[in-house]
Amino acid sequence: MNIMVVGGGGREHAIIKKLAESSRVTKIYALPGNGGIAAEAECIDIKATDIEGIKDFAASHPVDYAVVAPDDPLAMGAVDALQDLGIPCFGPVAKAAIIESSKVFAKDLMKKYGIPTAEYEVFDDMDQALAYLETAPIPTVIKADGLALGKGVIIAQTRDEAKAAVRKMMEEKAFGESGSRVVIEEFLTGPEVSVLSFTDGRTVIPMVSSQDHKRALDGDQGLNTGGMGTVAPNPYYTPDIAHECMETIFMPTMNAMNSEGRTFQGCLYFGLMLTDKGPKVIEYNCRFGDPETQVVLPLLRTDLLTVMEAVTQQKLAEIEVEFSSQRACCVVVASGGYPSSYEKGYKIEIGETDENTDIFIAGAKLEDGELKTSGGRVLGVTSVADTLEEAIAAAYQNVEKISFEKAYYRKDIGRRALEVERS
Ligand code: AMP
Ligand code: GLY
C-alpha cells in the first residue's frame, strides 16, 4: 500500500518509521516531511496546512491510505477533504478535532458529561475577566481558547500576573484570534501523565502511558517548550489509576463525543493530572503527542497500519493491540536559544548509534546531501531497554554521538520517573 503522512516533525518521523516496518507498506509520501524523514519516505514540498495542496497531491498520486498527524490540518478539515476524495484516513474530522482546537468546547464537554477536570469560567469580555480575577483563587491558570502552538497557557502566581496574562491575550492579541475568548481555571497540582489512545468511536485502546518534560532546563526550570524529552511508561500511572481513567475519563469522553454527533476516530490524547481528588483532564489533544510518540510507538508490537485501518473501519474491538513491556526514553536535542530565538543551518553529525536506539529528526533539512538544523527542536534520541535505568543511560550514551553547533539538551530526562520507580 502507498501511504501519505501529513506533517514533518519528530512525531511524524516516529510514525513513518513504524509504518515502514509493516510488510504491507510499499511506499510512504511525507508532506512536507523533513531531512531525516527523507531516509524512509519521499518528501513532498507541500505544507501540512496547505489543505488544497494536500488534496491535489492525493488526487493525482496513488495514495491508498493517509495519516494526518498535526493539530492544524486536523482542525482545518484535512481528513474531511481526503475522505471526500474517497481516501481512507487516520485522524479525526474537523468537527471532532475541535476537542483540541477549542478549549472552551473541551471544558464545556467535560462539564456537561461529568468528566473530571479543573473548575473554570469562560470570558469573551476582557473587563469581565479582569473583574473575576479580583476574587479568583490564586494561583490561577489562563488559557487562550484556540490553538496557540502550546503557548496559550499561562500559570499566574499573583493577581497582577493573571490580569497581565488576560490583557496579553485579549487586548494585545498575543495569540491572535485564539485569545479572543479565554478560560480561567482552577490551578491543580499532582504528577502529569500523557495517555495516547486509539479510538474508533466504539472502543478506546490506551497506549502505554508516558511522561513529558515541558520546561527547557533541568529541574523543570526555564521556559515552556514543545517537550524536551519523554519516558514510557509513566511510573505514576498504576494499573488502578489506569482502570479509574478508563471508567471516569476515557470511555465517557468517547461516548460524549458520540452523543454530540462528533464521533472521534484517530489518536485521542489525554493530558492528565493525578490530583489528590483523583485523575483529572488538563487537556485533550486530537493527535499523537510530540515527543510522546517517540517513546510510545517504539514499544508498539502490533503492525501500526493494521491498527490505524481498524480505527478507520471502526473495527478496533476485533484486533489485539500489543505493547512491549520494555521501557523507552527520548532525549530531545535542541538548538541553543530555543524556545526563544535560535540560529539555523548548522551541520548535524550523527555517529553510529546502537541497535536499540532510534534518532527521530524533527527540525532538520537536507542541503547538498548534508543534514542541517532548521528548527528549535532538532531531533530526539530514543532508546528502548528492559529497565528504565538502562533506557535512560542508553539514550544519553547515544546523545553523545550527535553533534551540531550550539546543541543543548536536558540532562535529567527520566530522573523523576526513576525516583518514583525506586520509591
Ligand atoms: P496545556 O497547553 O493545556 O498542555 O498546558 C500546558 C501545561 O500547563 C500543562 O502541561 C500543565 O503543566 C499546566 N497546566 C495546564 N492547566 C493547568 C491547571 N489547571 N493546573 C495546573 N497546571 C496546569
Ligand atoms: N507533548 C505535548 C503535545 O504534543 O501537545
Q: For residues 118 and 276, is the Cβ–Cβ distance under 8 A?
A: no
**Whose CA is closest to atom 4 on ligand 2?**
289
Distance 226 CA to ligand 2 centre (A): 6
Q: Out of 53-62, 140-149, 261-270, pick the least confident.
A: 140-149
Q: Work out the burial of residue 47: count CB atoms within 10 Å of its CB; fewer than 13 is exposed, 13-18 middle, 19 or more buried.
A: middle
Which ligand 1 atom sits nearest the alpha carbon of residue 143?
3
Averaged pLDDT, 269-274: 98
**Whose CA is closest to atom 2 on ligand 2?**
289
Q: Confidence band (pLDDT; 50, 70, 90) for 180?
A: confident
Sequence letter at residue 274: L
What pLDDT is attached to residue 315?
98
Q: Confidence band (pLDDT; 50, 70, 90) for 320?
A: very high
**In the predicted model, what is the mean pLDDT of the chain?**
96
Distance 55 CA to ligand 1 centre (A): 35
Q: Among 43, 32, 34, which Cα is nearest to 72's?
A: 32
Residue 150 has pLDDT above 80, yes or no: no
Q: Confidence band (pLDDT; 50, 70, 90) for 174?
A: confident
Q: What is the pLDDT of residues 208-231, one digit of tens each?
A: 999 999 999 999 999 889 899 999
Query: Ligand 1: does its nearest atom lie under 6 Å from the Cβ of 187?
Result: yes
Q: What are phi and psi of 20, to 5 degrees?
A: -65, -20
Distance 83 CA to ligand 2 centre (A): 26
Pair type for strands 27-32 and 2-7: parallel
Our mutation pick for probing the ligand 1 site, out of 182, 269, 273, 292, counting the most ligand atoms within 8 A of Cβ, is: 273
Our mutation pick for probing the ligand 2 site, out of 194, 196, 210, 294, counting the most ligand atoms within 8 A of Cβ, is: 194
What pLDDT is attached to residue 149?
64
Q: What is the pLDDT of residues 79-135, one digit of tens each?
A: 999 999 999 999 999 999 999 999 999 999 999 999 999 999 999 999 999 999 999
Which ligand 1 atom sits nearest the alpha carbon of residue 103?
3
Q: In the β-sheet with 140-144, what is the strand arrangement from edge to edge?
A: 120-123, 182-186, 140-144, 153-156
Q: Confidence band (pLDDT; 50, 70, 90) for 152?
A: confident
Residue 20 has pLDDT above 70, yes or no: yes
Query: Ligand 1: does its nearest atom lie under 6 Å from the Cβ of 126?
Result: no
Q: What angle do CA 345, 216, 209 make, to 5 degrees?
A: 110
Distance 227 CA to ligand 2 centre (A): 7
**CA atoms of 136 and 405, how far apart (whole Å):** 46
**Whose CA is closest to atom 3 on ligand 2?**
289
Residue 392 has pLDDT above 80, yes or no: yes
**CA atoms of 142 and 121, how far apart (whole Å):** 10
**Whose CA is closest to atom 15 on ligand 1?**
282
Query: Ligand 1: does its nearest atom lie under 6 Å from the Cβ of 148?
Result: no
- How far is Cα of residue 56 from the mean position of the Cα atoms in its chain? 27
Q: For residues 13 and 61, is the Cβ–Cβ distance under 8 A?
A: no
Q: What would the grid cell of residue 33 be?
A: 516531511
**Whose CA is closest to atom 3 on ligand 1?**
283
Our mutation pick for probing the ligand 2 site, out of 269, 288, 330, counting the most ligand atoms within 8 A of Cβ, is: 269
Dihedral sign (CA 275, 281, 282, 288): positive
Distance 34 CA to ligand 1 centre (A): 29
What pLDDT is attached to residue 35?
97
Ligand at shortest distance from the CA of 185: 1
Query: Ligand 1: does its nearest atom lie under 6 Å from the Cβ of 153?
Result: yes
- Tally of CB atoms within 10 A around 85: 13
Distance 143 CA to ligand 1 centre (A): 9
Which ligand 2 atom sits nearest the alpha carbon of residue 11?
4
Instruction: State percent of the chain over pLDDT 90.
Output: 93
More confident residue, 224 or 272: 272
Ligand at shortest distance from the CA of 192: 1
- Which residues have CB under 6 Å of ligand 2? 150, 212, 227, 285, 289-290, 292
Which ligand 1 atom sits nearest the alpha carbon of residue 282?
16
Give CA separation, 99 vs 154, 244, 253, in Å.
20, 21, 10
CA dihedral (200, 201, 207, 212) in degrees, to 10, reads 110
Distance 61 CA to ligand 2 centre (A): 31
